[in-house]
Amino acid sequence: MKFFVDTADLAEIRDLADTGLLDGVTTNPSLVAKAGRNFVELIAEICDVVEGPVSAEVAATDFDTMLKEGRYLAQIAPNVAVKVPLTPAGLKVCRTLANEGTMVNVTLCFSAAQAILAAKAGAAFISPFVGRLDDIGQNGLNLIQEIVEIYANYPAFTTEVLVASVRNPIHVVESARMGAHVATMPPSVIRQLGNHVLTDKGLATFVSDWAKTGQSILDQP
Ligand code: E4P
């Protein structure tokens, strides 16, 4: 499973990229507003830091303007994935950009039917939002299961399932069990993945027991 970070905070992206565990970045207009930076400059800088796909979302909602914005964003760097909303116009933009060789991430997916349309439109990624479905009392992970199962029936579909709106490690682990290709997570969830109280406790014991040996691995006779 590939890990993307869902943030527009460049310092966080640099920090996570240093771990060698980061495969890409997703941003959205809300995250960009929070970062308070020039969008195009910010995307260019992120693309310098991370080799994998960096999602940059169009701002317009009509076909002509979305297409112009998408083409503009695509020329920032070869690893830009243009993000478009799952609307009829967004899908048409997806088809056009995909035909031009641009990676497209279709976002705001809340049903399996929408995911089928995105695959038919040539999306590189479909972003089903698990957390926002959970928030309204529906089971977000069921949607991931449905999409993974449907896409597996059609080898001609090359669209990757990018699990979005991830709120906790359970969303990540369950999506991985289902075979989702990618999870995009806030930095806090990526860090949470590695935590376990027994790891901390076990390490404290090993450190104190090692001290009793009085030895140093690097200081040998
Ligand atoms: C994904 O591409 C979106 O940016 C993101 O995952 C949305 O998450 P949220 O529901 O926590 O805002």
Per residue in 150-183, pLDDT (tens digit) is 999 999 999 999 999 999 999 999 999 999 999 9
**Which pLDDT band holds residue 109 (cuts at 50, 70, 90)?**
very high
Out of 2, 34, 83, 120, which one is annotated catalytic? Answer: 83
ipTM for this model: 0.97
Span 87-102, average pLDDT: 98
pLDDT at 221 over 90: no
pLDDT band at 190 (very low <50, low <70, confident <90, very high): very high
- How far does the centroid of ligand 1 lie from the alpha carbon of residue 65, in Å? 23
Which residue type does 215 have? Q
Residue 109 DSSP one-character state: E
Q: Which residues line ligand 1 (CB under 6 A)?
A: 6, 26, 28, 107, 127, 129, 131-132, 164-165, 184
Q: What is the DSSP string of 143-169?
A: HHHHHHHHHHT-TT---EEEEBS--SH
Residue 65 has pLDDT above 90, yes or no: yes
Kindly report the pTM of this predicted structure.
Answer: 0.96
Q: How far apart are CA 93 and CA 70, in angstroms?
A: 8
Round to whole Å and give the CA distance between 116 and 95. 13
| Ligand 1 atom closest to residue 27's alpha carbon, by position in its atom list | 4
Give the residue, out of 57, 129, 130, with the most ligand 1 atoms within 8 A of its beta carbon, to mutate for a pocket test. Answer: 129
Confirm if 118 and 39 have CB atoms less than 8 A apart. no
Which amino acid belongs to residue 94? C
Nearest to 2, CA basis, from 191, 181, 188, 190 = 181
Ligand 1 centroid to 205 CA: how many Å?
39
Q: What is the pLDDT of residues 5-20, one digit of tens each?
A: 999 999 999 999 999 9
Task: Tell me the percentage of the chain whose pLDDT exceeds 70.
Answer: 100
Average pLDDT of the residues in 110-132: 98
Shortest-distance atom of ligand 1 to CA 83: 2
Could you tell me the fold of the domain covering 2-211?
A: TIM Barrel (3.20.20)
**Known catalytic membership, residue 2:** no
What confidence tier does 50 reach under pLDDT thresholds 50, 70, 90?
very high
Mean pLDDT of all residues in 64-78: 98
Give the number of other Cβ atoms within 10 Å of residue 216's Cβ.
8
Alpha helices (H) in the chain, listed in sequence order? 10-17, 29-35, 39-49, 63-74, 88-99, 112-120, 130-135, 140-152, 169-178, 187-193, 197-213
